Every structure is written in structure tokens, then in C-alpha cells.
């Protein structure tokens, strides 16, 4: 009898301790401050295509830190730079299909796929990436474009203006004629109208193409002089203040829908702040990279004469007209969007 009673008594005591001894631990979300604390953190994978040390990946790590801090650990983000999870070409599809929860893509690499947001690639003379990134977000918020209907947009950002980095000095428009330069999307169109030969290839393939002399340079924001070590091959810069490249960070819609409301709120609040942070960081880092290239690779900078710059504006003026036509055909209210683009630009420039 004793032998049977003792284990039964012990089991009963353990059950009692489990049920009533300690304050109840909730399985569901509790609110602490403005973010939820969950029993099990939500884990999100975040894919990016360029190497870890480039700006699109620096902004990814910043976002990750912000999210983990603001949700007090309720969301954990695992980052995959360098195309280690998904490559640039299939980023949108990959996120829609759930191969990654989150992905960073450049709309500039897929002409025609993003008819509204590519307004921000127009050569309207953006003074900084901070301004163009904020304008991009403002347009997105106002129009909620159909091009992102299948995903949740977590943030958007744009590069500083594109300029020529080349193996040979480009001191005039004549030097640009027939010159093969890496470029994509609207920036590539801009090059073409000036007589250069744009070659579309992903950023990570460019160092190899430069070494093999397949391209004589590239047309991009200048921070890559340092980050991708392009200053080594291209110690010449020509200022054209050409169009920016634009980026989006998107999330799988079903994954987004499954997030706790408090987490969604936190991510929505972060979205425009992240756009401004990335633009500002990109501007500052670009200035530092140019200085680094002068110190380490004797970078030479060239500007065109005011007459030639007027020719640049004249030769590339058709880009905006062509965008309006294509955007209208895709169902975008192009005139209204373009007018808003200019209004938002002056508003953010004034701040
Ligand atoms: N210029 C575009 C965008 C870009 C600028 N810096 C980076 C760094 C990594 C990837 C893309 C970009 C481009 O050349 O693709």
C-alpha cells in the first residue's frame, strides 16, 4: 500500500506546483511598453543580393537592430547578404513564394515591372539620397501602387545621383561616345542618350567585368569606389548628377498577416524612418568614399562645362516623357504622380 501511495503523492505534489505555485506564464503576447513580449520570438529571414559591406546590407543590419530592440526581442531577424539566400533577379518572386520572408530588391534592375515608383528615377536633379528616399516613400504611401500588391513593403530607399566612374578619364561628352559602362534601368537609358554603351549586369559581377575589360567603368552612386574597391580600376570620376537607383524591402504577405498587431505597428512606424536613415547614411558614406579614393587611389574628378551640362539636360529630357507614356499605359496617373514628385521634392528639400 505504502509503495503505491508514495509515487501517487509525489505526482500530485508536482501537478500542484505546476498549476499554482508560481504566477501564471502566458503563452500569448503581453504588452510591455509599446511592443509585445512573446513566449516564442517570431523569426524572420531577410535576403539581400550585394555583399555585406555595401549600403543595401548596412541598412539591412540597421533595420534588424531597430526591429529587435523596438520589439524587445519578440522578433528575431536572420540576415543573408551576398545572394546567399536569393539573388537580385528573383528577389520579388522568391519573397512572394516564401523562399525568404523578407527581401531587398532594386526596381531599377527590372524595367517595366514597377511603373509608378520608377518616377523617382527621373532626372529631376535630386540633391541627396535622403530627399529622394523620402520622396519615394511619400509617393508609395499616397498611391499604394499595384506593382507591390502581392507583398508588404517594409521600406524604400534611393541612391545618391549616379556619376561616371571609369578606367579612362571622361572630360567631355566626346569622351563618352561608345564607352561601355555598367548601368541598368533608367540610369542606363540616360547613358545611352549621351552616346555611351550601357551594359546591364548585377553589381557583384562588375569587378570581374572591369578586370576583363568588358566594361570601362560604371554609372552609379560613388560610395562603391570604396565599398566595392572600384577606385582601384576606375580612378576617374565625371559628375553628371544622373538618375538614382531605387530599392524596396518587401515581405511575404502571408508572413506579414501572421504577425501580432503590435509588431505590425512597430514595423509600420519604422518604415519611413528607415527610408530617411538610409538616404542620409548613403549621402554621408558617399562623401567619405570619395575622400578615401582621393587619398588612396589619387582619384581625379572631372566636371563638364555648363554648355555641355545643358546638352546633357537636353539630350535626356525625353526620359520623363517616355516614363509618363509607359506609366500611363500601365494604369498609373502619371501626370499627377510626377507633379507630386516635384512637390514632395521641394518639401523635403526645405526640411
Ligand atoms: N548603382 C546601382 C545601385 C547601387 C549603388 N550602390 C550599390 C551597392 C550594392 C548594390 C547596388 C548598388 C547599381 O549599380 O546597382
User: Phi, psi (5° rounding) for residue 180?
Assistant: -80, 120
Atom 15 of ligand 1, residue of closest alpha carbon: 203
Cβ 280 vs Cβ 130: under 8 Å = yes
Helices (H), 80-120: 91-96
- Is the pLDDT assigned to residue 84 strictly greater than 60? yes
Task: Say if ligand 1 is within 6 A of residue 55 CB.
Answer: yes
Q: Is 203 in the pocket of ligand 1 (CB under 6 A)?
A: yes
| Cα–Cα distance measured from residue 262 to residue 133, given in angstroms and rounded to the nearest whole number | 26
- Give me ligand 1 centre to Cα 160, in Å: 10
Residue 54 CB less than 6 A away from ligand 1: yes
Cβ of 215 below 6 Å from ligand 1: no
Q: How far is the CA of 221 from the centre of ligand 1 (A)?
A: 7
Average pLDDT, the chain: 90
- For residue 115 and ligand 1, the question of a CB distance below 6 A is answered with no
Euclidean distance between CA atoms 281 and 188, whole angstroms: 25
Q: Residue 85 above 80 pLDDT?
A: yes
Helix (H, G, I), strand (E, B) or coil at 105: strand
Give me ligand 1 centre to Cα 52, in Å.
Answer: 13
Does residue 300 surpass a pLDDT of 90? yes
What's residue 240's pLDDT? Answer: 95
Q: Which three cell numbers stand for residue 264?
A: 505590425
Q: Beta strand 246-252 with 151-158: parallel, antiparallel or unpaired? A: antiparallel
Q: How far is ligand 1, taken at its centre, from the CA of residue 203, in Å?
A: 6
Contact 319, 329 (CB under 8 A): no
Whether the CB of 220 sits within 6 Å of ligand 1:
yes
Compute the distance between CA of residue 277 and CA of residue 47 in angstroms, rounded to an integer: 20
CA gap 132, 139 in Å, rounded: 10
Ligand 1 centroid to 236 CA: how many Å? 18
CB atoms within 10 A of CB 279: 29
Sheet holding 162-166, edge to edge: 197-199, 180-182, 217-220, 162-166, 236-242, 300-303
What average pLDDT does this structure show over 301-323?
A: 96
79 lines ligand 1 (CB under 6 A): no
Question: Nearest 5°: phi and psi at 246?
Answer: -120, 150
Q: Which pLDDT band holds residue 89 (cuts at 50, 70, 90)? A: confident
Measure the CA angle with vertex 92, ends 141 and 109; round to 5°.
90
Q: Which of these, 239, 260, 254, lies nearest to 102 by C-alpha position? A: 254
Of all residues in the chain, what percent carry a pLDDT higher than 70?
89
Distances (CA, A) of 279 to 124, 128, 228, 252, 273: 17, 7, 19, 24, 10
Task: Say whether 255 sits in a helix, a strand or coil.
Answer: helix
Distance CA 13, CA 226 (A): 67
Q: Rounded to two decimals, what is the model's pTM? A: 0.86
Amino acid at each position: 500500500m505504502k509503495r503505491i501511495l508514495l509515487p501517487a503523492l509525489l505526482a500530485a505534489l508536482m501537478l500542484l506546483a505546476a498549476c499554482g505555485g508560481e504566477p501564471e506564464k502566458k503563452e500569448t503576447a503581453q504588452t510591455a511598453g509599446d511592443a509585445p513580449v512573446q513566449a516564442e520570438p517570431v523569426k524572420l529571414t531577410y535576403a539581400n543580393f550585394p555583399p555585406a559591406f555595401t549600403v543595401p546590407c548596412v541598412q539591412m543590419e540597421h533595420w534588424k537592430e531597430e526591429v529587435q530592440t523596438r520589439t524587445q526581442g519578440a522578433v528575431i531577424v536572420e540576415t543573408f547578404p551576398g545572394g546567399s539566400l536569393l539573388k537580385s533577379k528573383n528577389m520579388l518572386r522568391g519573397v512572394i513564394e516564401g523562399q525568404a520572408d523578407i527581401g531587398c530588391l532594386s526596381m531599377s534592375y527590372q524595367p517595366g515591372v514597377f511603373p509608378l515608383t520608377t518616377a523617382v528615377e527621373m532626372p529631376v536633379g535630386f540633391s541627396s539620397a535622403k530627399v529622394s528616399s523620402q520622396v519615394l516613400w511619400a509617393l508609395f504611401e499616397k498611391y499604394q501602387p499595384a506593382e507591390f500588391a502581392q507583398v508588404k513593403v517594409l521600406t524604400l530607399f534611393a541612391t545618391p545621383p549616379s556619376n561616371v566612374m571609369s578606367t579612362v578619364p571622361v572630360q567631355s561628352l566626346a569622351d563618352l561616345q561608345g564607352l561601355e559602362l555598367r548601368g541598368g534601368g533608367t540610369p542606363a537609358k540616360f547613358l545611352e542618350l549621351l552616346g555611351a554603351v550601357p551594359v546591364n549586369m548585377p553589381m557583384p559581377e562588375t569587378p570581374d567585368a572591369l578586370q576583363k575589360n568588358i566594361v570601362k567603368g560604371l554609372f552609379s552612386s560613388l560610395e562603391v569606389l570604396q565599398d566595392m574597391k572600384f577606385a582601384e580600376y576606375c580612378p576617374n570620376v565625371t559628375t553628371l548628377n544622373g538618375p538614382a537607383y531605387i530599392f524596396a524591402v518587401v515581405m511575404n504577405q502571408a508572413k506579414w498577416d501572421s504577425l501580432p498587431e503590435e509588431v505590425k505597428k512597430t514595423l509600420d512606424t519604422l518604415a519611413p524612418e528607415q527610408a530617411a536613415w538610409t538616404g542620409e547614411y548613403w549621402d554621408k558614406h558617399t562623401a567619405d568614399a570619395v575622400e578615401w579614393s582621393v587619398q588612396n587611389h589619387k582619384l581625379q574628378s572631372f566636371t563638364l562645362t555648363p554648355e555641355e551640362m545643358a546638352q546633357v539636360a537636353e539630350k535626356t529630357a525625353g526620359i520623363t516623357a517616355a516614363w509618363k507614356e509607359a506609366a500611363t499605359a500601365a494604369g498609373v496617373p502619371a501626370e499627377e504622380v510626377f507633379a507630386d514628385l516635384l512637390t514632395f521634392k521641394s518639401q523635403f528639400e526645405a526640411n
